[in-house]
Amino acid sequence: MEIKSEELLPPERICLELTAEKKEDAIKEMTGLLAGSGKLLDKQAFLKCLFEREELETTGIGDGVALPHGRTDAVGELLLAFARSKNGIDYDALDDKPVHLFFMIAAPLSDSTKVLKLLAKVSRLLHNAKFRQALLKAETKDQIIELIKQQRQ
């Protein structure tokens, strides 16, 4: 079964401009996108999972990108959210540069295969500098979704 990231990313889980200025606040704001969809079973438990993951190793992978993710029983199904920050956020990224693009992945504990495939897919997409630039320039949520769809072709 192929994971179609655009099907996992409805407009209500896209934020074109984070208000957060700090890493912790960015994670909380993005978790709010997931919670707003009604698919997150326990927001606080998921936040705890994310912060524990960040303590192990940053999910700021470099090139202005962060992939905060977690697996927990606080999530009933695989979820994806996208956000960006025009000014960038100090996220303790591997390259010490501010993060502008965020993809958050939430997955149930029982679902290790799908989450790993999605992480790999999103990572591959974000290694493409033209794709990152297009995400930064997109003006609407629909444009973000269309950019992701185009990557499948």
The answer to the question of residue 3 being in a domain is no
Which residue in 113, 99, 103, 107 sits closest to 147, CA to CA?
A: 103
What values do phi and psi take at 81, rounded to 5? -135, 150
pLDDT at 42: 94
* Residue 2 resides in a domain: no
Domain count, the chain: 1
Let me know if residue 17 belongs to a domain: yes
Residue partners of 34: CB distance under 8 A and separation at least 6:
13, 40, 43, 46, 79, 81, 104, 106
The yes-or-no answer on residue 69 being catalytic is: yes
For residue 1, what pLDDT is reported? 41
Residue of 18, 23, 46, 69 marked catalytic: 69
Whether 115 is in a domain gets the answer yes
- Whole domain around residue 17: which residue ranges? 9-150
Per-residue pLDDT, 8:
81
Per-residue pLDDT of the chain (153 residues), as tens digits, is 455 655 788 999 999 999 999 999 999 999 999 998 778 899 999 999 999 999 999 999 999 999 999 999 999 889 999 999 999 999 999 999 999 999 999 999 887 788 888 888 898 899 999 999 999 999 999 999 999 888 865
The CATH number of the domain holding residue 22 is 3.40.930.10
84 found inside a domain: yes
Residue 110 lies in a domain: yes
**1 in a domain, yes or no?**
no
- The amino acid sitting at 84 is R
Residue 82 lies in a domain: yes
